[in-house]
Amino acid sequence: MLRFILHRILWMIPTLLFISILSFIIIEAPPGDFMTTYVSRLREQGEDMGQVTIDGLRARYGLDQPIYVKYFKWIRGVVQGDFGQSLEWQRPVADLLRARLPWSILISLSSLLFVYLIAIPIGVYSATHLYSKLDYFFNLVGFIGLAIPNFLFALIMLWFIFQRTGNAAIGLFSREFLMAPWSFARVIDLFKHLWLPALVIGTAGTAGMIRIMRANLLDELSKAYVMVARAKGLSERKVLYKYPFRIALNPVVSTIGWTLPALFSGEVLVSIVLGIPTIAPIFLGSLMGQDMFLAGSIVFIMATLTVIGTLISDILLGWLDPRIRESI
Amino acid sequence: MIEKNKTEKISAEKLNIASQWKLMRWKFYRHKVAVFSLILLSFFYFVVIFGGFISPYNARQNDIRYKNAPPQRIRFFDEDGKFHFRPFVYGIEAEFNDKTFQTLYIRKTDVKHPVYLFVKGDPYQFWGLFTTDRHLFGTEERAMFLMGTDRMGRDLLSRIIYGGRLSLTIGLVGIACSFLLGITIGGISGYYGGRIDRFIQRTIETIRSIPTIPLWMVLSIALPPYWSVVKVYFGIVIILSLIGWTGLARVVRGKFMALRKEDFVMAAILNGASEKKIIFQQLLPSFSSHIIASLTLSVPGMILGETALSFLGLGLQAPAISWGVLLKDAQQIRVLANTPWILFPGLFVIITILAFNFVGDGIRDAADPYSAI
Amino acid sequence: MENDKSLLKVEDLKTYFYSKEGTVKAVDGVNFSINRGETLGIAGESGCGKSVTAQSILRLTPKNGRIENGRILLRTDEKTVDLVSLKASGDEIRKIRGKKISIIFQEPMTSFSMVHTIGSQIIEVIRLHQGCTRKEARDRTLELLNMVGLSAEQAIDAYPFSLSGGMRQRAMIAMSLSCMPSLLIADEPTTAVDVTIQAQVLKLLRRIQKEKQMALIMITHDLAVLSELCDKVMIMYLGKDVEHAPTKELFSNPKHPYTKGLLNSVPKLHQGPRQKIEAIKGTVPSPYALPTGCSFHPRCPDFIPGLCDKEIPKLFDVDENHKVSCFLYQ
């Protein structure tokens, strides 16, 4: 098992390298750089900066060096936890990430939990009650869930809540807990707010997961070992849960690799719509303002997190399925 | 002798393929929801193609008399329950409320605007060929807003039809691009295998590990702000397909891998057929139905991508009209609360995506020789 | 039944499958019985209902299959139960499965769950039926694995995918024997393994059967297996039992035209390379559209027009132990 984990971790390194290069290309890609935007914005406000000042600032931020030098400078910093300076916020990117990222992760993980808690039981029900009325119903709901764009669903929920309460800001805390120190009541308050983004983000994923779970379980239920288990005299419950269910879970676990990116995507859109102070709004802001160090770092962090998520799911899968564990 | 055998074999194969397509079509027809969805989609595209003619007004024509007007209904019966052979809409009039500072519309039952076919209205260019002012239906005076108007008094139904031009086509054009990328790269990966395959798979894995929306967002700001709508449109298409090809490449690769081991491919290799020939004459036709299914199923992702980007203000922008651009107006909660009908474009997004999913599902089921419907 | 010493007696069993395309009468009136320590062979082409008969005995038929008629009487120490009257997944039948009657399926590749060890899957049965401790069950499992000729210490903690097909089939036999059932049903246990392994598996089955005085129902389409292993044979065609006879009698004196056809379609030893092999003409008809009368009549060389295609033959006695359902022996 240890060998398996090590193998998986080594496997990650080229992927991470690739991601870092991609993120850096993102940082460098837009025409012009931060200074171009900054200067043009100042011009709009009627101020003008001398070319000397501009060049000075460029040199200070290292904007005038060749690209590979900039990449190595950047990646060295990243390894040490220094993501550079957000030019727009005038703060280290790492500080911004520290303050905002945990909320993004919390929301994404909650929706992951939501997806699994809803999808697995429904998938099992649908597979064991094939072509029943509820099976059709879940299928239809799933199709609709897949078809509603996250942000639209968020808008509709926002509208409902606004109509009912007149409150337009959803956020993660009620006003009285916003600045309060951590307490049990604050955690409860957090959960009261968390379900909405989790629901909105998780709906599409749930629909997809129900289909996967249903198809897998159907596949497994038709295998010979199910009849063998029944022929041993095991109860129907045990026949279902000990054998096919357990194996049908494997592909579900392995889909974390693509569920996580989808959830992060959803989180970005939904947090922007619902006005939740996660990484998403400042990400949008950084793109609008061409604050590329911030934008690139956020992409890098999100991709790295999904890679780590995939690693965890791989390890989990190896633990669940001896075939995978011993295949290396 | 060998030549003769070959031609015989090919004609036999053609026969086989033809009957397979027929079988598929027959199976697809049994999938009622998919057939209905296909008809609906065809209808949408038809409306969009003749958008200028079918939409009652010009999508950019504003009208200060009717700002934020609610949707109206076409009626055959008036308030007294009297039937009118010619359908009509009631007139509406804005009334400003000094207490709430809101404009409310009241229906004036004494004013009836009859609805005519082929009515004269805003001039438009028909496919860039000639200018005309005939519209499929409408009222003589500008007074019919079936899905309401926006804050500038522009007719939302017309805007949705115009927006469909971009939103509905972007999915197809995007799919065409990803199709080319996916089938080439996936084909190379699956056909050659080995190192090339591993490299390509690793690249795909990496691209897929990056959340798409943020990546699209980042790429879309690389589009120069001075670009014209058409350029931005194609820019967005390229961005969407730069990421969208990976899924298709995987499908193609998987099929290639499985088929490489099949007897008929081996037979072709032994017969000395060239690689190109094998790929285009043997491999591609044998799973084209699967490719069509996965293409159909990836259109919704493209449409969603465009809509989300434009909604955030990163994709198509204001003078352009797309469903995402229209939904951007709904971002302010107060606007949304006062004029909820501006969510109508969202309804069309949902219906379109649902329909594409149903059609794709229908094709996939029909293409699977083992599925029993 | 009281004065009958048979262990299992099947009377007029009918198991039908229902689907959109129609009804398949997979088993359509089968009768047989088996005594303690006896070996019964059930033979026929694939699709003749052999496996469904076996599944029906343990009430394991898939969801769309239903036992429509008949009795399956199992005699235990205490009493005789009609398995058809039990609930398909109720407690009573579950106490019989694996304990009184065990079954070995033909696919050794998929008969074990790949994510559990061989040991855990056997221990499970022992603990379920005998309520012993984990330690006792493990010891018993080791004993069983040894008995079937596996190196027990290794096999018990191995995952099924690391064993060869033959080893898996041995493990399967060990599992089926774990509670020393009075009846073992082997559903084509050797079709999916190599020829050399086949012989070993058959030998093993015979040895254990003799030692434990177990009744064995051997389902196969391989006539050589029948002649090697069985005391008596039942031949099935399209869901019906067409001939019952002691093995020797059947091979030396087959009566039913179908049985004759079957025997002729297999090359015989000691007759040299130039012997004539005769295939039965025609093909098995679609199960949705069975012929009228005797279902074998379209392929039968001795077909009597006006009789065979009109009426369904009953089982006629040829001898005391030899029964045939054919109008030729009326």
Is A289 within a domain? no
Q: What is the pLDDT of residues B74-104, one digit of tens each?
A: 888 887 778 888 888 888 887 777 777 777 7
Indicate if the pLDDT at residue A169 is higher than 80: no
Average pLDDT over all residues of chain B: 80
The ipTM is: 0.84
Residue in chain C nearest A325 by alpha carbon: C115
Model-wide pTM > 0.95: no
Determine the pLDDT at residue A61. Answer: 65
Residue A141: pLDDT band with limits 50, 70, 90: confident
- Test A15 with B205 for CB contact under 8 angstroms: yes
Q: What pLDDT, on the 0 to 100 scale, is given for residue C142?
A: 93
**Closest partner residue to C94 among A233, A243, A322, by Cβ?**
A233
Most confident of A151-155, A203-207, A286-290: A151-155
The three-state DSSP-derived secondary structure of B38-79 is: HHHHHHHHHHHHCHHHHCCCCCCCCCHHHCCCCCCCCEEECC
Restricting to C residues 126-155, those with a Cβ less than 8 Å away from any Cβ of A are: 128-129
pLDDT of C227 reads 86
What is the pLDDT at residue B349? 93
Q: pLDDT band at residue B10, thresholds of 50, 70 and 90?
A: very low
Residue A123 lies in a domain: yes
Taking residues B131-155, what's their average pLDDT? 82
In a domain, A78, yes or no: yes
Q: What is the mean pLDDT of chain A?
A: 82
Closest CA to C74 of C183, C233, C210: C183
Q: Is residue A246 part of a domain?
A: yes
Specify the 3-state DSSP secondary structure of B371. Answer: coil
Token representation of residue A161:
């809540």
Q: What pLDDT score was predicted for residue C187? A: 87
Q: Do residues A74 and A109 both lie within one domain?
A: no
Does C99 contact A at CB distance below 8 Å? yes
Asked whether residue A58 falls in the same domain as residue A120, the answer is no
What domains can be seen in chain C, in order of their start residue?
8-100+183-329 (3.40.50.300), 112-180 (no CATH)
Task: Judge whether residue B370 has pLDDT over 70.
Answer: no
pLDDT of amino acid B9: 46
As a whole number of angstroms, the distance between CA B182 and CA B302 comes to: 15
For A31-76, how does the pLDDT look when each residue is reduced to its tens digit (9 = 90+)? 666 666 667 667 766 666 677 777 777 776 666 677 778 788 878 8
State mean pLDDT over B200-219.
82
- Structurally, how many domains does chain A consist of? 2
Domain boundary among A92, A126, A159: A92
- Asked if residue A134 and residue A28 are part of one domain, the reply reads no
3-state SS, residue A42: helix
CB atoms inside a 10 Å sphere around CB A121: 12
> For position A32, what pLDDT does the model report?
60
Q: Indicate whether A159 belongs to any domain.
A: yes
Model pLDDT for residues A301-328, shown as the tens digit of each residue: 888 888 888 888 888 888 888 877 776 5
Q: Which residue has the higher pLDDT, C212 or B40?
A: B40
Residues A261 and A125 in one domain: yes
Chain C: touching chains (3 or more CB pairs < 8 Å) = A
Give the pLDDT confidence score for residue B284 in this predicted structure. 67
Q: Spell out, as residue ranges, where chain C has pLDDT lower than 50.
A: 1-3
> Smallest CA–CA separation between C278 and chain A, in Å?
35
CA nearest to B119, candidates B128, B103, B132, B104? B132
Whole-number Cα distances in Å, B232 to A227, B49, B166, B168, B319: 59, 21, 11, 16, 12
The answer, for A303 touching chain C at a CB cutoff of 8 Å, is no
* Structural domain includes residue A315: no
Interchain CB contact of C192 with A (< 8 Å): no
Query: Domain holding A252: CATH number?
Result: 1.10.3720.10
Flag whether pLDDT at B1 surpasses 70.
Answer: no
Nearest to A291 by CA among A74, A89, A57, A41: A89
> Is residue A287 in a domain?
no
Residues A72 and A118 placed together within one structural domain of the fold: no
CA nearest neighbour of B152 among B229, B64, B88: B64
Q: Once rounded to an integer, what is the mean pLDDT over residues A267-289?
A: 87
Q: Which pLDDT does position B372 carry in this prediction?
A: 41
Nearest Cβ partner for A143 among B202, B304, B354: B354
Are A117 and A205 in the same domain? yes
Tens-digit pLDDT profile for residues B171-201: 889 888 988 888 888 888 877 778 888 888 8
Domains detected in chain B: 63-147 (no CATH), 159-367 (1.10.3720.10)
Q: Are residues A147 and A58 in the same domain?
A: no
Percent of chain A with pLDDT over 70: 91
pLDDT attached to residue B3: 44
Residues C252-298 have pLDDT tens digits of 888 899 998 888 877 766 666 666 667 777 778 877 778 888 888 88
Does residue B348 register a pLDDT over 90? yes
Range of the domain at A126: 104-278
Other Cβ atoms closer than 10 A to B5: 10
Query: What does the alpha-carbon distance between residue C266 and residue C256 come to, in Å, rounded to a whole number?
Result: 16
Q: Does residue A202 fall inside a structural domain?
A: yes
Residues 6 or more apart whose Cβ sits within 8 Å of residue A54 = A35, A39
When mean pLDDT is compared across A243-252, B37-46, B192-201, C273-282, the lowest value belongs to C273-282
- A88 and A37 within one domain: yes
Beta strands at B130-139 and B102-126: parallel, antiparallel or unpaired: antiparallel
Residues B350-364, mean pLDDT to the nearest whole number: 89
Are A116 and A79 within one domain? no
Verify that A254 and A144 share a domain, yes or no: yes
> What are the tens digits of pLDDT across the range C178-207?
888 999 999 888 777 778 878 888 888 888
Choose the final residue of a domain: A278, A302, A323: A278
Q: Are B115 and B86 in contact (CB under 8 A)?
A: yes
Q: Are A37 and A158 contained in the same domain?
A: no
Are A113 and A247 in the same domain?
Answer: yes
Cα–Cα distance, C158 to C168 (Å, whole number): 11
